[in-house]
Structure 1
Amino acid sequence: MSSGTAAATAAARPGGRYRWRVCAMLLAATTINYIDRQVLGVLAPFLQDEIGWSEIQYGYIVMAFQGAYAIGLLCAGALIDRFGTRIGYALAISVWSLAAMGHALAASVAGFVVARFMLGLGEAGNFPAAIKTVAEWFPRRERAFAVGIFNAGSNIGAIVAPLMVPIVAAAWGWQAAFLCTGVLSAAWLVTWLVFYRTPDQHPKLSAAELAHIRSDPPEPAVKVPWLQLLRHRQAWAFVAAKFITDPVWWLFLFWLGKFLASEYELSLAKIGLPMIVVYLMADVGSIAGGWLAGRFMRLGWSANRARKSAMLVCALCVAPVILVTQVDNLWLAVGLIGLAMAGHQGWSANVLTLPSDMFPRQTVASVVGIGGFAGAFGGMGMSYFTGSQLQSTGSYATIFLIAGSAYLVALLCVHLLAPRLEPAPFDMPRPPSG
């Protein structure tokens, strides 16, 4: 074997597994993020009776979170790119944990609006920080799988919440359900600050694993002003995908409990199991969607073909949810919704990888923040539409028709804007003269 071939082989060999410990920390943070976020979704049918809000007022509460989440994403992405993932992530989880516990003080629609707004500001930092961390710690061929793993935390959190919330609320009241995540958040924060460093600065990372992490072709070392990112159609491809499909996830997250309770007359004690099944299916979809794209690449497919093929499979899994309002059996409805949520999470594992496919590491969090802003803004529109539709007709039929169609439309937009998923053109720094 020639020295060049040996060097290439050594660079390609993983050489260690520390990066997967980092991925586990991202999984834990995302799980906590979604436990905090989902508590209201589980309690919503029952708080609606106690607080006395209407369908439209509940839509306003959800919109407050989404509006703040959108604003926070714009700020969080740029701040994390500037100050780094270690400090940025720590600040984000501190803010959202305090806001989550602050829900216990709310006693009116206005109180919940304020609490949800502050929660949205803090939680906006999770995905820009996590995706930038993946871009720092994983080569391109492993990123979709790593994103799929940590993104599964959104489903784990959504499973833990319906398991935990009814028990806590029945024993100590609904306020206690909003308070109980503080210890988890504090433990994660301490662990992150003590153990996390970037790969170049981490004392426990082997030279072989660092070489594996850096095995992709060199990226341009550039600092790009936030607004200049929008000059590239690659950014708009990501923005379109998030704007069109994120509202569907918001719909599932905040209205699933209400849908099941109203359509199948489920009590607080009985609503947990169907929601757990749905989110378990979503967990499988999150990991499988990321694995599928990586599998296609290992077969020799280009990143463009692999990503879009995996996204198409996921989009087709969502489409049958259009029929969910036509079935009378609870578990058939759960199966259709679970398949759709699995499709969404597999879709997200690939969509969230697009910024690191097409942009330098230094700009990834900013691009993710812009796309997340678009997704949250679209989610606000979906929340208003859902509340108005239910208030006027009481029917979910049109709502699920939109949800089932969104992903194929989004995939078409991505393909038209980024037909080859080629990297956005940035100039490499010029070597010094002389």
Structure 2
Amino acid sequence: MVGGGDFKMSEKPTKVRYIVLFVVCLVYLITYLDRVAISVAAPLMMKDFGINKLEWGLVLSVFSWTYASFQIPIGLLGDKLGARKVLAAIVCFWSLMTVATAMVWNFTSLVVVRLLFGVGEAGAFPTATRAFAHWMPSTERGFAQGFTHGAARFGGAITPLIVAIIMNAWGWQSVFYIFAAIGLAWAGFWYFWYRDKPSEYKERWGSINQAEMDLIDGGKSAKKAPPKLPFRTLLKSKNMWFLSLSYPTYCYTVWIFMTWLPAFLVEAKGFSIIKMGIFASLPLLAGTVGDTLGGWLSDKIWKKTGNGKFARRVVAMSGMLIAAAFMIPGAMADNANMAVFYLACSLFGLEMAVGVYWAVCLDVGHEYAGTVSGMMNTIGNVGSALSPLVFGAILQFTGSWVYPFLVASTILVIGALLWLKVNPELSIVEELGLDKLEEEKQAKAQ
């Protein structure tokens, strides 16, 4: 009996959590396939529908309106119903809106579809983050978030080439039909295979052992039901406000790379369209590496030092300051190839931070990870919405490409400093006294 017990104690954990991570990475990649496709198809769509540049700018921007507005509601829904149901449903919904994009007939119908598409994609990252709440141990959350966001950036980097090939063969409408089919296939598999908790997965599939379940939850096989978290109570969290106010500085800057980098390379650096298509993907590929490295490094530091505040802060702040430092020479370099190199270094540093941002949502949120990440991403997307407009306005007013990058660099420094007030070791439950509030509520009910 003793030998059998010793054998069980030394049992190696299975790796089911990494399969979950891989499947979630696929949906992150799909979000960017569907999100970026319309930008690549823009010339043909504008020509077919007679849409001018101002109208096209509105088509692209309305996505951000609903994307930001529905982060918190769908995050709350994910916390309540679980990632299995909610993520499958929203992927199906935005995939249907992707089909609808191929079926629009004029400017107005396209704007309506893009608004609805934003509603669907709004819940992707908060609900996927909720999926990790029961599947990733604290010392692997940074790696998981960095890896998933790296998959998203990789999706953005490969989309132009994939879309160009499909459009050349079958026309722009086929792009949206094919991408929608990929999303629907993923949603079907996710609902069939995924389970919200390792214990539920074990009951259904039986391929996860107790050693991995103990590793994920620290050996606590039973947890009491969490107290409720009203959204107005979440707004009292100073920790979340500092995290959420720092995140728009990241979003503001990353959207410069998503929206203005192609024009910068063509107009300021003299690249041809074909050369721009190749070189514009290089910073995004560098960002993919930064995503994965930042999360992994933060986890390693936490595991080595046992100091969560230091582990999360040092990686996020270093990455943002690296991004700020390389952005200015990227804008000022006379040599076009060196400009791309500097900007690739900048995005590499910037993306080191993103996995850490989302890991902190798990660190402090736990059962409320969907709600917490929804709050952060909602406020963050204010930066995403402002970025193209502010960058363009500064460019128009000054006539210089340097000043818009200088503003972004300054904003990043502010965002890095805000990390000094973020504490990943202070849970929402502890900070807001949710257990005590729940006890008082139950006492009054009695």
TM-score (norm 1): 0.89
1:45/1:257 contact within 8 Å kept: no
Distance 2:409 2:103 in 1: 37
SS in 1 for 2:133: helix
1:105–1:270 Cα change, 3 Å: farther
Aligned equivalent of 1:229: 234
Aligned equivalent of 1:347: 353
Range with bigger deviation, 138-147 or 42-51: 42-51
Q: Does 1:212 align with 2:215?
A: yes
SS in 2 for 1:299: helix
Range with bigger deviation, 332-341 or 117-126: 332-341
Alignment of 1:185-334 (within 5 A): 185-197=183-195, 198-203=197-202, 204-215=207-218, 221-266=226-271, 268-319=273-324, 320-334=326-340
What code does the residue aligned with 2:216 have? I
Range with bigger deviation, 217-226 or 203-212: 217-226
Range with bigger deviation, 297-306 or 249-258: 249-258
Q: Does 1:174 align with 2:172?
A: yes
Deviation at 1:267, TM superposition (A): 5.0
1:394–1:48 Cα change, 3 Å: farther
Distance 1:108 1:321 in 2: 39
1:62/1:254 contact within 8 Å kept: no
What code does the residue aligned with 2:337 have? W
C-alpha offsets along residues 234-282 of structure 1, whole Å, 9 cap, x if unaligned? 1112211222221222222233333333334545543332133222211
Alignment of 1:93-132 (within 5 A): 93-106=91-104, 109-132=107-130
What code does the residue aligned with 1:199 have? P
2:44/2:172 contact within 8 Å kept: no
1:56/1:387 contact within 8 Å kept: no
**Long gaps (5+) in structure 1:** none
Match of 2:84 among 75, 83, 86: 86
Aligned equivalent of 2:67: 69
1:85–1:255 Cα change, 3 Å: same
Q: Does 1:146 align with 2:152?
A: no
Match of 1:32 among 30, 33, 36: 30
2:150/2:291 contact within 8 Å kept: yes
Deviation at 1:351, TM superposition (A): 0.6
SS in 2 for 1:324: helix
Distance 1:103 1:367 in 2: 31
Alignment of 1:281-430 (within 5 A): 281-319=286-324, 320-359=326-365, 361-391=366-396, 395-416=400-421, 418=422, 421-424=425-428, 425=430, 426-428=433-435
What code does the residue aligned with 2:20 have? V
2:290/2:349 contact within 8 Å kept: yes
1:339–1:100 Cα change, 3 Å: farther
Distance 1:326 1:52 in 2: 37
2:364/2:424 contact within 8 Å kept: no
**Long gaps (5+) in structure 2:** none
C-alpha offsets along residues 180-202 of structure 1, whole Å, 9 cap, x if unaligned? 21221122112101110021201
C-alpha offsets along residues 217-249 of structure 1, whole Å, 9 cap, x if unaligned? 878822211221111111112211222221222
The CA RMSD over aligned residues, in Å, is: 3.0
What code does the residue aligned with 1:271 have? M
Distance 1:260 1:152 in 2: 23
1:379–1:171 Cα change, 3 Å: same
SS in 1 for 2:267: helix
2:133/2:367 contact within 8 Å kept: no
Distance 2:132 2:74 in 1: 16
1:52–1:186 Cα change, 3 Å: same
SS in 2 for 1:270: helix
What code does the residue aligned with 1:208 have? A
1:50–1:344 Cα change, 3 Å: farther
1:116–1:236 Cα change, 3 Å: same
C-alpha offsets along residues 276-323 of structure 1, whole Å, 9 cap, x if unaligned? 322221111011001111121232140000110111221122111123
C-alpha offsets along residues 169-218 of structure 1, whole Å, 9 cap, x if unaligned? 22333333333212211221121011100212012321111111111787
Between the two structures, name the one with larger relative contact order (CA 8 Å, sep ≥ 6). 1
SS in 2 for 1:143: helix
2:363/2:424 contact within 8 Å kept: no
State how many pairs are aligned: 426
1:324–1:109 Cα change, 3 Å: farther
SS in 2 for 1:180: helix
Deviation at 1:67, TM superposition (A): 0.7
Distance 1:117 1:216 in 2: 44
1:403–1:372 Cα change, 3 Å: same
Distance 1:329 1:10 in 2: 60
